[in-house]
Amino acid sequence: MSINTGAGTRIYIGPRLTADLPKDHAAAITLLAALVYVEVGEVESIGDYGDTINDVSFAGLAEGRARHLKGLADAGSVELAIGFDAGDAGQLKLVEAFLDRSRFDYPIKVVYVDGETDYMAAKVMSNKKTGISVEGVLKRTVTLGINSEVYEVVTP
């Protein structure tokens, strides 16, 4: 596989999950891949996402040296910049997910131009209109709070 630009990347949102994702990696991917997703239209950019593991340090008196352990994994949040389209089905689904106060997440799918796909479970944490100016494109900025690992599926 060679490197690519982000052109051609698409992002989708699925129906609200009704249970937590399976702990088994393969079972979670199978479940997420089987869902029906709606493409979010007019996406301009997708921010950084993926796990960061917290540093848990310990300084033993006898050793006089800090030791580092891996703590909590956090996939963080990702910001989407979207050209505002009030009739786009995917944007409407994002708004619906933003208004949903249930404990369950929404599945998100990112498909890259080379066919690689990332799946994750997230909550829509913000929905803002931005870029309001005379010569600016009206945009929707959405923040997704990721509550699962990012499942990468590479096509052969």
pTM, to two decimals = 0.92
CA–CA distance, 92 with 83 (Å, rounded to integer): 13
What is d(CA 19, CA 11) in angstroms, rounded to the nearest whole number? 22
Assign domain 10-153 to a CATH class. few secondary structures
Band of pLDDT at residue 87, cut at 50, 70 and 90: very high
pLDDT at 123 over 70: yes
Domain ranges of the chain: 10-153
11-30 tens-digit pLDDT: 999 999 999 999 999 999 99
Residues 6+ apart with CB under 8 A from 61: none
